[in-house]
Amino acid sequence: MERVYFDNAATTSLDPAVLDAMMPYLTEKFGNPSSIYSYGRESRLGIENARKLVAKTLNAHPGEIFFTSGGTESSNTAINAAITDLGCKHIISSPIEHHATLHTVEHLHCSQGVGLSYVRILPDGHIDMEHLRELLANAGEKCLVTLMHANNEIGNLLDIFAVGNLCKEFDAIFHSDTVQTVGHYPFDLRNTPVHFITGAGHKFHGPKGVGILYINENVKIKPFIQGGSQERNMRAGTENLYGIVGFAKALELATTHHEAHSKHINEVRMYMAERLEKEIPGVTFNGDLHGRSLYTVLNVSFPKSEKTEMILFNMDINGVCASGGSACTSGADAGSHVIRAINSNPNQIAVRFSFCKNNTKAEVDTVIAKLKELM
């Protein structure tokens, strides 16, 4: 059976050019980057060249880029550092963050008594900026604001500049989970008012198990993982050498081809939205589809019925890969906390379709035909 993969917000396929860049470090350039002899120096050079490439692509300083195991570690590091090293006593987040953020702030609130507030979510899925201002004004202590740049389930985009400038006004630390946008949008970090951002290679056709944490050069924190002097004493453990090289190559390719790829992907997404509206009665969309929205994500609500309750399972056995929300909870019965926050209608079933540069309108036609058979 030919499969259609529409779950690229969960992970993407590895670009062949990225694999080519990684191969020397999977074979003959295998040295430990901490070793002083030639094998180690080759590996160290690969990592530092990758760091320079990532920094150049994001318009950051190489000293602000730290390689990690992915977005979850990066967010945990930033959030914990804001509390333990930067004097934050209160956290402001939102109820629709990724669990890498939600579970971390809840843990700090419960285990250390850190204050915790959630900004209101508007009906279209965006955060209420006036409420954020109120929370900052009334906190009475130094705050960490942690809000994601693009929601991984509904695709809504945060105005990162507006939030960052608001945080500056109240002397708050600002961390943004940018896992869904690094590799999908150009970044100019020298001119973006943010203290921490995150990235994960597998979201833009790079390898799994590697990510970045950007730490603004004016921020000084201690290591989250102890045990070695790697990453300039900031992240202990032998570096994921070939992953780091692959991350940098994938980011370079994604940024170089951003204009063409984003246009193509958005055309596929909007074509699917149009076909669904036309051919599946009762379909609605979650989030701000026609406004500030991530061009890779389409979150669809189908009318609840005996057939649609099994829609993900039935799509799977018909060769269609999609998600019921975040892939991190797609096997859980609890459903999506994001959808619950913006759409409490019990008579709808939400499905996330997410797209990449390799998807086509012909694949959309195939999926629509399958859906019509399953409804």
Catalytic residues: 328
121's CB contacts (< 8 A; 6+ apart) are 94, 95, 96, 127, 128, 341, 342
- Indicate the SS3 state at residue 34: coil
What does the buried/exposed string (b/e) look like for 234-252 if buried means 16 or more CB atoms within 10 Å of the residue's CB? bbeeebbbbbbbbbbbbbb
Polymer length of the chain: 375
| Residue 190 CB neighbours (<10 A) | 12
∠ CA 224-230-231, rounded to 5°: 75
User: Distance between CA 24 and CA 7 in Å, rounded?
Assistant: 30
**Under a CB-based contact definition with an 8 Å cutoff, are residues 351 and 302 in contact?**
yes
DSSP state letters, 93-139: E-TTS-HHHHHHHHHHHHHH--EEEE--B-TTS-B-HHHHHHHHHH-
User: Distance between CA 183 and CA 163 in Å, rounded?
Assistant: 21
User: Residue type for 100, please?
Assistant: A
Nearest to 54 by CA among 257, 225, 255: 255
Backbone angles phi, psi at 340, to 5 degrees: -60, -35
Nearest to 268 by CA among 369, 368, 338, 348: 368
User: In terms of DSSP H, where are the helices of 5-94?
Assistant: 16-26, 38-58, 71-84
**Under a CB-based contact definition with an 8 Å cutoff, are residues 181 and 38 in contact?**
no
- Cα–chain center distance at 100: 10
User: Distance between CA 137 and CA 190 in Å, rounded?
Assistant: 27
